Amino acid sequence: MGGTREARELAEIASGERGFDIVSSLAGRVRDPVLPAGAVRLGGFGGADGLRDWLAANGIEVVIDATHPFAGTMSAHAATAAASLGLPLLHVRRPGWSERQGDNWIRVPDLAGAAAAELGERVFLTIGRQGVGAFAALTQPWFLIRSIDPPTGPLPPNHELLLARGPFTAQDEGRLLTRQRIDVLVTKDSGGELTEAKLEAARAVGIPVVMIDRPALPAGAAVVAEVADAWQWLRRQAG
Ligand code: NAP
């Protein structure tokens, strides 16, 4: 189960190996997704029961949840469906970001916590397409909302949309913060290098970051951070 760089890398490795028959699953929401190597299926399964039925019908023997750290529903469904079929399950979860010298982060548990935080006047909102509705009732700040595809649901009244797909350089991010006179950055603790430049830029420009914590993973299954470890785990299942 993919939608991440890690999932694509793992599919690339495994689909080239004899004895491994891989299918990647994507939610199918991004208009122009970067497709992994090998077989791909698109779209939701219809809840944990739908996923269980799909796994059984397709003779799946091992489940790897390499979804985004904020795809908490999918991770939970993977745990339920794999457990009900007695299938081995691995979560691939990249580490979150950590605060460095010069950073001023306000950690909040979720989107509602971010919307309730002291946000300043000009907010750079980089939380992806979903969840912007949590800020819709905020009439005072102006928001620069960046996502790959247009956000879903209600939007705050004062905003500008910036549709763009990373990676971005710290230099470009810094220019954007300055040009738009941003005084706070709101982001999810997604981790990874592809979208880290905005944090570097916020540090350089000296603005605070409201950092939204990840949802907890379901207990019980193995968890790795690195693609190489996921591949080792998968090989062990085959052996
Ligand atoms: P989510 O809230 O955990 O999942 C919502 C529903 O979307 C799931 O119940 C499932 O529908 C469907 N779904 C999610 N991931 C799927 C997958 N890999 N294959 C098939 N169906 C999937 O997930 P989300 O936050 O909407 O994320 C959707 C996808 O985008 C994930 O694959 C994730 O890796 C990727 N992504 C998410 C973020 C983010 O910030 N959330 C960022 C980058 C990429 P059914 O119940 O019908 O099965």
Out of 60, 74, 187, give the residue to mutate to test ligand 1, the one with the largest number of ligand atoms within 8 Å of its CB: 74
Handedness of CA 44, 15, 95, 84 (dihedral sign): positive
pLDDT recorded at residue 162: 98
Secondary structure, 3-state, 193-228: CCCCHHHHHHHHHCCCEEEECCCCCCCCCEEECCHH
What is the Å distance from ligand 1's center to 68 Cα?
8
Cβ of residue 45 lying under 6 Å from some atom of ligand 1: yes
Cβ of residue 68 lying under 6 Å from some atom of ligand 1: yes
Tokens of 103: 């950073």
At residue 239, does pLDDT exceed 80?
no
Cβ of residue 78 lying under 6 Å from some atom of ligand 1: no
pLDDT recorded at residue 238: 85
pTM: 0.92
Cβ of residue 104 lying under 6 Å from some atom of ligand 1: no
Distance CA 116, CA 127 (A): 15
Cβ of residue 74 lying under 6 Å from some atom of ligand 1: yes
pLDDT recorded at residue 30: 83
User: Average pLDDT in the 10-14 region?
Assistant: 96
Cβ of residue 69 lying under 6 Å from some atom of ligand 1: no
Q: What percent of the chain has pLDDT over 90?
A: 91
Distance CA 87, CA 51 (A): 12
User: Average pLDDT in the 139-168 region?
Assistant: 95
At residue 191, does pLDDT exceed 90?
yes
Domain 105-212 of CATH type 2.40.50:
no
Tokens of 107: 């950690």
Cβ of residue 73 lying under 6 Å from some atom of ligand 1: yes
Cβ of residue 174 lying under 6 Å from some atom of ligand 1: no
Are 230 and 66 in contact by the 8 Å Cβ rule? The answer is: yes
Residue 49 main-chain phi, psi, to 5 deg: -70, -40
Closest-CA residue, ligand 1 atom 15, reads 27
Give the atom of ligand 1 at the shortest distance from the alpha carbon of 75.
3
What is the Å distance from ligand 1's center to 123 Cα?
26
User: Average pLDDT in the 152-167 region?
Assistant: 95
Distance CA 35, CA 223 (A): 24
Cβ of residue 47 lying under 6 Å from some atom of ligand 1: yes
CB atoms within 10 A of CB 212: 24
Are 3 and 67 in contact by the 8 Å Cβ rule? The answer is: yes
CATH of domain 5-94+216-238: 3.40.50
Distances (CA, A) of 104 to 15, 53, 211: 43, 47, 10
User: Average pLDDT in the 49-53 region?
Assistant: 98
Using alpha carbons, select from 209, 208, 198, 27 the residue that is nearest to residue 129: 27
pLDDT recorded at residue 29: 85
CB atoms within 10 A of CB 153: 11
User: Average pLDDT in the 56-73 region?
Assistant: 97
| Helix 72-85 and helix 47-57, axial crossing angle in degrees, nearest 10 | 50
Domain 5-94+216-238 identical in fold to domain 105-212: yes
User: Average pLDDT in the 178-196 region?
Assistant: 95
Distance CA 95, CA 71 (A): 15
What is the Å distance from ligand 1's center to 44 Cα?
8
Cβ of residue 26 lying under 6 Å from some atom of ligand 1: yes
Q: Where are the domains of the chain?
A: 5-94+216-238, 105-212
